[in-house]
């Protein structure tokens, strides 16, 4: 089975991935937090029934959280295929995953339905089209909670309206090196965009990766939201590329040293935390972005950034690894793959 992060993507020198998700709820049910197990099972069955005839859209695997080992739950989160919120009530939550892993339909997360499309690189058009198609299709069968004035009703008021959240994960090492990132984040917040770390709300930026998304879901059409975000992302892409060009002109040796040191450390270390690995992988990506290193692909770096996360590192090992053992295994995996 392919993975979203194994594909090449557009504008991949800056944009790692694009994500679109809509939140929907069924009219005749309480929100997931209020439901008992029977009710949540009814919602699940309604969604599964509605999905049955969506076969033309690709094959989906249905997975109940309760059927997953805790480790596998965390791996799905590290791969960004499900949200951390989905595993909060394992007995009620489940998801459908399209076999290319670009589409996840989460059932009984914070809302009854969360349709997520995740694509490599910058691709709001395809992301939105896919998401919209599934949404329209499901709406033919399911009775979504919708208010004439407010739009789609959601568990959390911040999602009411379109229920849409669009985001791009950008890698902006040059904006971080030069400090531009701070004023950028302030500016984005002012125009109603959120800037987060790689694991969404409340997480810190690591590896110079920032997830930029719309905050508002009310009062704007989906296409407007996406168009506005897309324009901002292109501004960020251009700014990052400009600053890279300046840096390669003015601080070439220093940047080369930073890039190659990180490569050397990744190739030789015997112990490494995920945070340190992310920092070095970010520098290697910067090397690729600046043409300093050429024999590595962006998606290989993205894949490594996923594979070195704590749960993924534990995968395939029978016993629970200690932190030291994970750090050793991580270093060993990186040496093997890079």
Q: Considering only CA atoms, which of 210, 290, 305, 303 is closest in space to residue 255?
A: 290
Pick the stretch among 60-68, 194-202, 249-257, 309-317 that binds a second copy (CB under 8 A): 249-257
Residue closer to a second copy, measured from CB, 103 or 284: 284
**185 contributes a contact to a second copy by CB under 8 A:** no
**52 contributes a contact to a second copy by CB under 8 A:** no
Task: Enter the DSSP assignment of 320.
Answer: P
Please answer whether residues 277 and 266 qualify as being in contact, where contact means their C-beta atoms are separated by less than 8 angstroms.
yes
Binding mask 139-178 toward a second copy (x if CB under 8 A, else -) reads ----------------------------------------
What six digits make up the tokens of 335? 């040496």
Q: Which residue among 265, 304, 308, 334 contacts a second copy (CB under 8 A)?
A: 265
Pick the stretch among 115-123, 214-222, 230-238, 264-272 that binds a second copy (CB under 8 A): 264-272
Q: Which residue among 57, 144, 256, 333 contacts a second copy (CB under 8 A)?
A: 256
Distance CA 334, CA 183 (A): 34
**279 contributes a contact to a second copy by CB under 8 A:** no
Strand runs labelled E in 178-310: 193-196, 209-214
**253 contributes a contact to a second copy by CB under 8 A:** yes
Please answer whether residues 112 and 96 qualify as being in contact, where contact means their C-beta atoms are separated by less than 8 angstroms.
no
CB of 257 to a second copy, least distance (A): 4
Distance CA 49, CA 56 (A): 15
**194 contributes a contact to a second copy by CB under 8 A:** no
Residue with tokens 């998304």: 213
| Residues contacting a second copy: total by CB under 8 A | 18
CB of 254 to a second copy, least distance (A): 7
Q: Which residues contact 72 (CB under 8 A, 6 or more apart)?
A: none
What six digits make up the tokens of 93? 């939550």
Q: Considering only CA atoms, which of 86, 88, 87, 106 is closest in space to residue 96?
A: 106
Burial (Cβ within 10 Å: 0-12, 13-18, ≥19) of residue 131: buried
User: Euclidean distance between the first and final Cα of the chain, in Å?
Assistant: 22
Q: Which residue among 186, 268, 317, 337 contacts a second copy (CB under 8 A)?
A: 268
**328 contributes a contact to a second copy by CB under 8 A:** yes
Task: Enter the DSSP assignment of 142.
Answer: S
Residue closer to a second copy, measured from CB, 242 or 257: 257
SS3 state of residue 152 = strand
CB of 325 to a second copy, least distance (A): 9
**248 contributes a contact to a second copy by CB under 8 A:** no
**271 contributes a contact to a second copy by CB under 8 A:** yes
**291 contributes a contact to a second copy by CB under 8 A:** no
Rule CB under 8 A: which residues touch a second copy?
A: 253-254, 256-257, 260-261, 263-271, 324, 328, 331
């Amino acid at each position: 089975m392919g993975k979203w992060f194994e594909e090449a993507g557009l504008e991949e020198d800056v944009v790692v991935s694009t994500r679109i998700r809509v939140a929907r709820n069924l009219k005749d049910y309480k929100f997931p937090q209020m439901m008992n197990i029977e009710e949540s099972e009814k919602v699940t069955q309604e969604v599964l029934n509605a999905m049955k005839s969506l076969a033309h859209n690709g094959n989906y695997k249905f997975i109940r959280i309760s059927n997953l080992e805790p480790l596998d739950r965390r791996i799905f989160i590290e791969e960004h295929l499900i949200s951390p919120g989905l595993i909060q009530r394992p007995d009620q939550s489940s998801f459908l995953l399209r076999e290319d892993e670009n589409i996840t339909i989460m059932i009984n997360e914070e809302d009854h339905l969360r349709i997520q499309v995740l694509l490599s690189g910058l691709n709001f058009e395809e992301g939105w089209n896919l998401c919209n198609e599934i949404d329209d299709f499901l709406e033919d069968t399911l009775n979504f909670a919708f208010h004439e004035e407010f739009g789609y009703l959601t568990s959390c008021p911040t999602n009411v309206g379109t229920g849409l959240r669009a985001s791009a994960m950008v890698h902006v090492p040059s904006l971080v090196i030069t400090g531009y990132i701070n004023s950028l984040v302030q500016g984005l917040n002012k125009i109603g965009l959120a800037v987060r770390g790689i694991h969404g709300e409340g997480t810190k930026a690591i590896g110079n990766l920032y997830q930029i998304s719309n905050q508002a879901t009310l009062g704007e059409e989906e296409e407007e939201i996406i168009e506005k975000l897309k324009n901002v992302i292109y501004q960020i892409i251009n700014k990052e590329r400009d600053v890279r060009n300046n840096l390669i002109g003015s601080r070439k040796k220093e940047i080369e040293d930073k890039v190659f040191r990180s490569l050397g450390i990744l190739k030789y270390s015997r112990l490494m935390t995920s945070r340190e690995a992310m920092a070095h992988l970010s520098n290697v990506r910067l090397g690729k972005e600046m043409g300093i290193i050429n024999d590595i692909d962006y998606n290989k770096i993205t894949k490594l950034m996923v594979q070195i996360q704590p749960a993924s590192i534990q995968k395939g090992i029978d016993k629970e690894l200690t932190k030291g053992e994970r750090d050793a295994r991580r270093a060993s995996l990186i040496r093997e793959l890079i």
